[in-house]
């Protein structure tokens, strides 16, 4: 159902809401500008207070994000809160490393020790096309869009306000107008800055920031039938000569000059322009959200009267009845309770009264929401023109009956009934109740429970409200050409015939993103022939990777690491790899086959073959008589060689750690390399190890919070075939607690 288009208005299931009665279609155009675009929220706030509602919202870049949220049913306060609670440095990070809290223990170990990670085409490294795939941005957009009041069913006109996201096709340079498909991907495509973030794959196209071709997309709004556009221009001004002191700023200025010319052309087509006074505020500074919103609010409050007059004139002079008039009419009001300045002016007119004056009064009355219908009859009685304006009030309310109540806040219904029982309803308040009920459901994290019927029964005088069950009939997986469906499904918390919740959506996206198998993960709802589907879109990564790292210490100097592995062996999510590390005096080589999760369980296994050696210097203390002190003197070197197999079987403790048992079969050799032969031994050791590893540290190597627990019991007995018998208990626990936050003041 499209609430904004009267021709599509569903009176079978929804018969209580106001229809649009404008002669002219108003489009809201939100520009790009990065963080500067946060000022758009303040302008939305003022537009809401003055009941200015567009027929279409068109957004580019940050404007696509703000506009997409607004179109989906978020109000300006909710959008503001969302921007404030978002950790922008983390969301916009220029890296593909996953948050440690979303990784299994072995994944944390590999990520922590990796300095450089490259994909492999055969044995040829592939250089990345960008610094980040932007999945962190898509994650937060996806979760909030799916938990919005209004979800798309087939295209973006299904939203509260029809919406267009503007992006740029990086393959051919064309501007792309996005009106259907996955709304979250459409928004993310529009804010994908090239080089920094990988292009967003959307409906078969590689898309990047819409600001490259249409930073102020006025023409796109006009092309979709808008008669008048309200533009919010938050784009960045050109840099001053003092700022052009390095090649990067100069290169940015060259691009900005071209975009600035395009911006001027688009603004010349606008009906009205808001330009928040934020000077040279950086487009990358997301730290002063209140400041930016206030600046937008100030701009709108200073110009709102001018805009209202312009909209009023637009409607007045575009009326089909403008050239019709009567002279010195008598005005008769029937069933009218509201008298505003427009009606007083009409009553007191002693000369020409245009039909458009009457139409203006009728529109005012209808917009109050108090009338089911308002109309005017113009007649001539004894040479006296008479204008009879009649208002038919809305029906009275008996009660509200809820079907399939999902646990809504009872006070919403009680307060509405207290106001309207045995009184005429108000269509504006009816729509507000509808929005408030959806907002209450979404605040409980129920993302797909919808109001399927909100109707007034004229026989019983009751409002009947029906809720859906919040479930989908099918979960569709797209884009997994290599990865098995069973692997993907086990990572999903959402499922068919289960109520879809925000928490399950968020965890499903995190689980799939943290597998490191996909460069793009997103979900969206779609209805197809009465079938409700949750569609999962995936873009698979090349999972054959090489990782490189170095370290240095005063004992072994520089040491290197190389790790080559296929992280999606045979499409099963299992890993197979080899690694080598060390320096001239120590080496370790490993071959391993492991799985973070075995089938649909939380069981994990790891089979490792290893060979390592470690050269150890021996010393003795001698007296330096000239200095009168003890000094160490190297006497020789021996080599500690270890080789064998290890098999671990355990259970994942969610993403915190593992509980495991391990069988280790190893050979140890000690050989003297130089100096006196003081050590020489050959041992076979078969040991059992039982333990748990917990790692909730937020980052490595210097965590701010979290804990690390390494607890195990290890035993080797001669009756197992070992040359040595021993038992060992080991406990290590570390806890990190932040004791304060340092902030620098400018």
Q: For 443-453, how does the pLDDT look when each residue is reduced to its tens digit (9 = 90+)?
A: 999 999 999 99
Predicted confidence band of residue 13 (pLDDT cuts 50, 70, 90): confident
**H/E run at residue 481:** none
Peptide bond into 438 cis (omega under 30): no
Number of other CB atoms surrounding residue 231 within 10 Å: 24
Confidence of residue 128 (pLDDT cuts 50, 70, 90): confident
CA distance 734 to 732: 7
Compute the radius of gyration of the chain from its Cα atoms.
34
Average pLDDT value for residue range 113-141: 82
Q: Which two three-digit tokens encode residue 379?
A: 């007649």
| Closest alpha carbon to 526 in 472, 445, 468 | 472
- Please give the sequence-ordered ranges of beta strands (E in DSSP) within 161-248, or none if there are none: 163-169, 175-178, 200-202, 205-209, 228-232
Decide if pLDDT at 153 tops 60.
Answer: yes
CATH for 544-736, options being 2.40.160.50, 3.65.10.10, 1.10.10.10, 1.25.40.20: 2.40.160.50
Domain ranges of the chain: 26-96+132-316, 319-393, 396-467, 474-540, 544-736
Give 134 or 251, the one with higher predicted confidence: 134
Mean pLDDT of 433-445: 96
Task: Check residue 249 and give its pLDDT.
Answer: 61
pLDDT at 623: 81
- What is the predicted pLDDT for the residue at 351? 74
Quickly state the pLDDT bin for 323 (edges 50, 70, 90).
confident
Would you say residue 582 has pLDDT above 50?
yes
Q: Which CATH class is domain 26-96+132-316?
A: alpha beta
The answer to whether residue 648 scores a pLDDT higher than 60 is yes
pLDDT tens per residue, range 508-556: 999 999 888 999 999 999 987 778 999 999 999 888 989 998 888 777 7
Which pLDDT value is given to residue 58? 98
Q: For residue 456, is pLDDT > 90?
A: yes
Written as six digits, the tokens of 34 are 């990065």
Structure confidence at residue 658 as a pLDDT band (50, 70, 90): very high
Average pLDDT over residues 138-162: 93
Q: How much is the average pLDDT of 120-145?
A: 85
Is the pLDDT confidence value at 741 over 60? Answer: no
Whether the pLDDT of residue 660 is over 90: the answer is yes
Note the CATH number of domain 396-467. 3.10.20.310
Whether the CB-CB separation of 200 and 208 falls below 8 Å is answered with yes
Mean local confidence (pLDDT), 157-184? 95
Superfamily of domain 319-393: membrane protein fhac (3.10.20.310)
For residues 127 and 255, which has the higher predicted lDDT (pLDDT)? 127
Per-residue pLDDT reduced to its tens digit, 386-412: 889 899 999 999 999 999 999 999 999
680 or 445, which is more confident?
Answer: 445
Distance CA 521, CA 683 (A): 50
Q: Can you tell me the mean pLDDT for 321-329?
A: 85
pLDDT at 251: 57
Decide whether 396-467 matches 544-736 in CATH topology: no
Q: Please state the pTM of the whole predicted model.
A: 0.88
687-739 confidence digits (pLDDT tens): 999 999 999 998 888 898 999 999 999 999 988 888 889 999 999 999 999 88
- The pLDDT, as a whole number, for residue 745 is 41
More confident residue, 219 or 22: 219
Counting every residue, how long is the chain? 746
* CATH superfamily label, 474-540: membrane protein fhac (3.10.20.310)
Which pLDDT band, with edges at 50, 70 and 90, does 262 fall under?
confident
Q: Lowest mean pLDDT: which of 154-163, 298-307, 415-424, 614-623?
A: 614-623
> Does the structure show a pLDDT above 80 at 7?
no
Q: Is the pLDDT of residue 241 over 90?
A: no
Task: Supply the angle between the helices 289-317 and 76-85 in degrees, to the nearest 10.
Answer: 160
What's the confidence (pLDDT) of residue 253?
65
* Dihedral pair phi/psi, residue 502, rounded to 5°: -60, -40
Tell me the per-residue pLDDT of 248-260, one tens digit each, with 9 for 90 and over.
566 566 666 767 7
Picking from 172, 177, 215, 178, the residue whose alpha carbon sits closest to that of residue 193 is 215
What is the reported pLDDT for 1? 30
Find the mean pLDDT for residues 1-9.
41
Q: Is the pLDDT of residue 503 over 90?
A: yes
| Percent of the chain clearing pLDDT 90 (strictly above) | 59
């Amino acid at each position: 159902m499209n609430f904004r288009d009267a021709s599509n208005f569903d009176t079978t299931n929804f018969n209580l809401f106001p229809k649009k009665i404008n002669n002219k279609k108003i489009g809201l155009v939100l520009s790009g500008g990065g963080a500067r675009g946060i000022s758009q929220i303040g302008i939305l706030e003022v537009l809401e207070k003055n009941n200015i509602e567009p027929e279409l919202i068109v957004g580019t870049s940050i404007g696509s994000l703000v506009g997409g949220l607004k179109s989906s049913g978020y109000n300006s306060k909710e959008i503001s809160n969302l921007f404030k609670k978002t950790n922008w440095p983390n969301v916009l990070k220029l890296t593909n490393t996953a948050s440690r809290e979303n990784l299994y223990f072995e994944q944390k170990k590999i990520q922590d020790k990796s300095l450089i990670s490259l994909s492999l085409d055969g044995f040829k490294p592939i250089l990345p096309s960008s610094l980040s795939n932007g999945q962190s941005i898509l994650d937060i957009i996806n979760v909030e869009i799916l938990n919005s009041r209004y979800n798309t069913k087939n295209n973006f006109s299904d939203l509260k306000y029809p919406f267009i996201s503007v992006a740029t096709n990086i393959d051919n340079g064309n501007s792309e107008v996005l009106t259907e498909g996955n709304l979250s991907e459409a928004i993310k495509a529009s804010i994908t800055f090239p080089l920094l973030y990988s292009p967003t794959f959307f409906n078969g196209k590689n898309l990047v920031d819409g600001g490259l071709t249409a930073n102020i997309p006025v023409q796109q709004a006009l092309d979709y039938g808008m008669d008048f556009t309200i533009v919010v221009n938050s784009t960045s001004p050109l840099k001053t000569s003092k700022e052009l002191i390095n090649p990067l700023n100069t290169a940015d200025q060259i691009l900005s000059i071209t975009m600035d010319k395009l911006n001027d052309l688009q603004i010349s087509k606008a009906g009205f322009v808001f330009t928040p006074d934020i000077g040279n505020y950086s487009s990358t500074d997301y730290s002063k959200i209140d400041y930016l919103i206030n600046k937008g609010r100030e701009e709108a409050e200073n110009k709102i009267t001018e805009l209202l007059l312009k909209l009023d004139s637009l409607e007045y002079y575009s009326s089909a009845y403008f050239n019709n008039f009567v002279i010195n009419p008598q005005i008769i009001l029937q069933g009218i309770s509201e008298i505003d300045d427009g009606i007083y002016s009409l009553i007191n007119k002693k000369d020409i009264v245009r039909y458009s004056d009457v139409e203006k009064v009728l529109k005012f009355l209808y917009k109050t929401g108090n009338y089911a219908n308002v109309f005017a009859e113009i007649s001539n009685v004894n040479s006296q023109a008479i204008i009879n304006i009649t208002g038919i009030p809305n029906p009275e309310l008996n009660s509200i009956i809820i079907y399939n109540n999902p646990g809504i806040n009872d006070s919403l219904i009680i307060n509405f009934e207290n106001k309207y029982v045995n009184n005429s309803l108000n269509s504006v308040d009816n729509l507000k109740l509808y929005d408030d009920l959806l907002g209450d459901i979404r605040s409980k994290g129920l993302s797909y429970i919808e109001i399927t019927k909100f109707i007034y029964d004229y026989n019983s005088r009751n409002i009947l409200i029906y809720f859906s069950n919040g479930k989908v009939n099918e979960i569709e997986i797209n884009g997994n050409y290599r990865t098995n469906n069973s692997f993907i499904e086990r990572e999903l918390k959402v499922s068919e015939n289960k109520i879809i919740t925000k928490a399950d959506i968020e965890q499903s996206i995190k689980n799939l993103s943290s597998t490191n198998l996909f460069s793009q993960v997103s979900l969206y709802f779609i209805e197809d022939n009465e079938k409700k589907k949750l569609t999962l879109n995936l873009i698979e990564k090349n999972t054959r990777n090489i990782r490189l790292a170095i370290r240095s210490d005063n004992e072994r100097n520089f040491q290197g690491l190389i790790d080559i592995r296929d992280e999606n062996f045979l499409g099963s999510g299992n890993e197979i790899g080899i690694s080598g590390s060390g320096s001239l005096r120590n080496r370790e080589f490993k071959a391993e086959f492991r799985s973070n999760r075995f089938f649909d369980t939380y069981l994990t296994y790891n089979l490792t073959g290893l060979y390592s050696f470690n050269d150890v210097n021996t010393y003795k203390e001698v007296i330096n008589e000239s200095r009168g002190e003890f000094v160490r003197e190297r006497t020789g070197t021996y080599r500690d060689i270890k080789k064998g197999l290890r098999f671990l079987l355990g259970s994942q403790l969610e993403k915190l750690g593992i509980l495991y048992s391990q069988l280790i079969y190893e050979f140890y050799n000690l050989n003297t390399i130089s100096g006196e032969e003081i050590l020489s031994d050959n041992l076979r050791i078969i040991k059992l190890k039982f333990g748990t590893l917990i790692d909730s540290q937020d980052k490595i190597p210097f965590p701010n919070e979290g804990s690390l627990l390494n607890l195990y019991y290890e035993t080797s007995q001669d009756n197992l075939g070992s040359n040595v018998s021993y038992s060992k208990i080991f406990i290590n626990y570390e806890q990190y607690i932040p004791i304060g936050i340092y902030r620098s003041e400018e």
